Amino acid sequence: MPLQEPANPHCKASPIQYVRHARPRAAPFARRSPCQARPQPREDSITTRNTLSYKDAGVDIDAGNALVEAIKPLAKATARAGSDAGLGGFGAFFDLRAAGYDDPILVATTDGVGTKLKVAIEAGRHDTVGIDLVAMCVNDLVVQGAEPLLFLDYFATAKLDVAAGRAVVAGIAAGCRTAGCALIGGETAEMPGMYGPGDYDLAGFAVGAVERGQALTGAAVTSGDIVLGLASSGLHSNGFSLVRKVVSNLRLGYDAPAPFAPGRALGEALLEPTRIYVASCLAAVRAGHAKALAHITGGGLIENLPRVLPDTAAVEIDPAAWPRPAVFGWLAEAGGVAPAEMLRTFNCGIGMAMVTAAADAEAAIRSLQDAGETVFRIGRVVERRADRPVVRSAGA
């Protein structure tokens, strides 16, 4: 809801019907109370002062209110046990007991979409980056064995475009429905001068829960365990500064045919949303198949797998164990990106990795496939050695 001075002499704000705030950002109010008497202006300045509006300064309160009204149904459609998504006041409540928890530990994550937003803006396609925003947060929750419960977003722009804003939030709501979490609120900030024309930025915040003693820590990982790779949908939301540099070097427009995806425009293909692994991975965790999970984001397998391994463990990966989506081959060949740089920048076709006991590997694969995942055996856990990388190619 917009931040504005009360219109009545008692300084009572109007009731807030939705937890999302369409809050213009500008210089702070003077230190005196808004109820305190103000000095009377000189008579010759009254006309000038009474004609200047917030909209003249670049902040459209009515547009902010229109966006809030447009997205209320989207948020309400994400309601789940424990929440009443779409309704609230200055904050939103979540009832952990109603969600089925007895002694929960809360887990919180935050992330953004990065410069993939520039591709969306230049391509004029705003309906998928909201899914990316949710995915980047909730995938970080599930690797700790936590169920995503609630989500909040921050949307900032110089001049609010209601249609584009609604498309972004529609994507966020779609991602929340896939992840099973409630979109319980957010912030819309219109800040003239902070961004270029048409630009906007996004940040997301997710909270999940896991019962005490059931968090996934990776402590049980040991030599002989199997590493499974879950296929990515493409680039996901990492490395887009490099992607955009390749596109610029090749002098391509985002409306041009995608060289790696016949029948699709380049912008559309690059904006393929990040896969959300919540349902499949939670099922594997609850079945006792997962010893560790790693969300493969920036840094790729070589930097993300070590984050979930004990100090005694390393991983040997078989690079030939899975096919790479065509976009990665295009970036490497047409873009001139070296193999080592590809591996430390992109997911290269594996969006999530799971470590499972060798005896559980087949059951884990079946469980993940039943949940819709494409799964590959990509490596195994070995004893860590000080003179060798923690993640290395098999036989290296």
Query: What per-residue confidence (pLDDT) applies to 29?
Result: 33
Looking only at the bridges linking them, the beta strands covering 182-190 and 147-157 are parallel
Query: What per-residue confidence (pLDDT) applies to 50?
Result: 81
Question: Measured between alpha carbons, how far is 369 from 124 in angstroms, rounded to an integer?
Answer: 35
Question: Measured between alpha carbons, how far is 371 from 228 in angstroms, rounded to an integer?
Answer: 15
| Residue 37 identity | A
Give the pLDDT means over successive 10-residue stretches in the chain (396 positions). Answer: 37 41 49 45 57 90 90 93 71 94 98 98 98 98 98 96 96 98 94 95 98 96 98 98 98 98 98 98 97 97 96 96 97 96 96 98 97 98 94 79
3-class secondary-structure state, position 295: strand
What long-range pairs does 104-108 form, CB within 8 A, spacing at least 24?
104/209, 104/210, 104/211, 104/212, 105/209, 105/210, 105/211, 105/212, 105/215, 106/207, 106/208, 106/209, 107/141, 107/144, 107/146, 107/207, 107/208, 107/209, 107/210, 107/215, 108/205, 108/206, 108/207, 108/208
Question: Measured between alpha carbons, how far is 356 from 371 in angstroms, rounded to an integer?
Answer: 17
Half-sphere exposure of 188 (CA within 13 A, CB side): 29
List of residues 6+ apart from 249 with CB closer than 8 A: 335
* Predicted TM-score (pTM) of this structure: 0.87
Question: Measured between alpha carbons, how far is 36 from 118 in angstroms, rounded to an integer?
Answer: 45
What are residue 229's DSSP bridge partners?
Answer: 353, 376
Query: What per-residue confidence (pLDDT) applies to 4?
Result: 39
Query: What per-residue confidence (pLDDT) applies to 51?
Result: 87
Query: What per-residue confidence (pLDDT) applies to 188?
Result: 93
Looking only at the bridges linking them, the beta strands covering 226-231 and 350-356 are antiparallel
Query: What per-residue confidence (pLDDT) applies to 325?
Result: 96
Question: Measured between alpha carbons, how far is 356 from 363 in angstroms, rounded to an integer?
Answer: 10
Query: What per-residue confidence (pLDDT) applies to 36?
Result: 47
Half-sphere exposure of 214 (CA within 13 A, CB side): 19
Query: What per-residue confidence (pLDDT) applies to 90?
Result: 83
